[in-house]
Amino acid sequence: MKPARIIILVIALAAGGVAAMLAGRSDPKPPEPVKVVQAEMVDVLVAKADIAVGQSVTPGELRWQSWPVTAAAPTFIRKSAMPDAVERFTGAIARLPFVAGEPINEAKLVKAQGSGFMAAILPSGKRAISTEISAETGAGGFILPNDRVDVILTRREKDDKGDHFVSETMLNNVRVLAIDQMIAEKDGQKVVVGKTATLELTPGQAETLALSRQQGTMSLALRSLADTQRNDSENADEDRSRNRRGINTVRYGVSTTTSTK
């Protein structure tokens, strides 16, 4: 074999070896398997169907559902801590509504123990008192349970200029518990022209309303939904500032002022 051919063959073999070596180095490593971490789950009690305010809970409306431990709030009822929760809360009355799939919060349920549903859903320290309304004094029927209203008294006064009428807001931002016998919106009904509105009041507010009803006509003024975010202390402060003058009562021709604090 001629020397030139031998040199060419050697060069070709060397180039092939270098190429094979480089190709071996460039081969990517196989990807590492992805580790799947299973989230720790816990069984919590949820509403199987919608539960309305004042509704008595039945076993068919409750069920256990798996829930991530990291997302389970302390108020959730866990099966590990209360395995008999379905039986325990059967017959309880809902103070606030639940939607299907919502975790059950014990604070939103109450055992009636022979009491009526209104006494069961009434918060501690509150009183339920009713007042007559009409389409004219009840915002044309657009006031529904759980709305917030102001209570306005319109009465006749007499002075040197003769008889005239005055209006005054007696109660501020109070919750409507019921219109007649309805405690929640039913079948999508948006207007209820009732004859009686039941209000959620403090003991002092209940006395104010009872006295005001004897002095004139009571009207309910529907408040904006944005006003419902105010807390009870703010509402009480406004009531006190408006009622600091008290209510004038005339008995046997003698005028006296009754404090509403």
pLDDT averaged per 10 residues in sequence order, the chain, 261 residues: 68 70 61 77 94 86 93 92 92 87 90 70 84 74 83 84 82 87 59 78 90 86 75 52 46 43 44
**Statement to judge: residues 97 and 150 lie in one domain:** no
| Phi, psi (rounded to 5 degrees) for 252 | 55, 40
The predicted structure's pLDDT at residue 2: 67
Q: Is residue 94 included in any domain, yes or no?
A: yes
**Statement to judge: residues 254 and 204 lie in one domain:** yes
The predicted structure's pLDDT at residue 212: 86
Q: Is residue 68 included in any domain, yes or no?
A: yes
**Statement to judge: residues 95 and 159 lie in one domain:** no
**Statement to judge: residues 195 and 251 lie in one domain:** yes
User: CATH number, domain at 75?
Assistant: 3.90.1210.10
Last residue of a domain, one of 90, 116, 142: 116
pTM score of the predicted model: 0.56
**Statement to judge: residues 133 and 188 lie in one domain:** yes
The predicted structure's pLDDT at residue 80: 92
**Statement to judge: residues 74 and 101 lie in one domain:** yes
Last residue of a domain, one of 95, 116, 137: 116
**Statement to judge: residues 150 and 249 lie in one domain:** yes
Last residue of a domain, one of 116, 142, 165: 116
**Statement to judge: residues 76 and 179 lie in one domain:** no
Q: Is residue 19 included in any domain, yes or no?
A: no
The predicted structure's pLDDT at residue 121: 75
State the residue range of the domain holding 146. Answer: 127-258
Q: Residue 247 forms beta bridges with which residues?
A: 258
The predicted structure's pLDDT at residue 189: 58
Q: Is residue 21 included in any domain, yes or no?
A: no
The predicted structure's pLDDT at residue 66: 94
**Statement to judge: residues 83 and 203 lie in one domain:** no
CA dist 232 → 14, 71, 189, 200, 236 (Å): 91, 30, 29, 12, 6
The predicted structure's pLDDT at residue 75: 92
**Statement to judge: residues 136 and 243 lie in one domain:** yes
E strand intervals along the chain: 41-47, 62-68, 93-94, 109-110, 127-132, 148-159, 162-179, 196-201, 217-222, 247-251, 254-258
3-state secondary structure string across 148-206: EEEEEEEEEEEECCEEEEEEEEEEEEEEEEEECCECCCCCCCCCCCCCEEEEEECHHHH
Counted domains in the chain:
2
**Statement to judge: residues 194 and 247 lie in one domain:** yes
Q: Is residue 35 included in any domain, yes or no?
A: no
Give the side-chain half-sphere CA count within 13 A for 195: 0
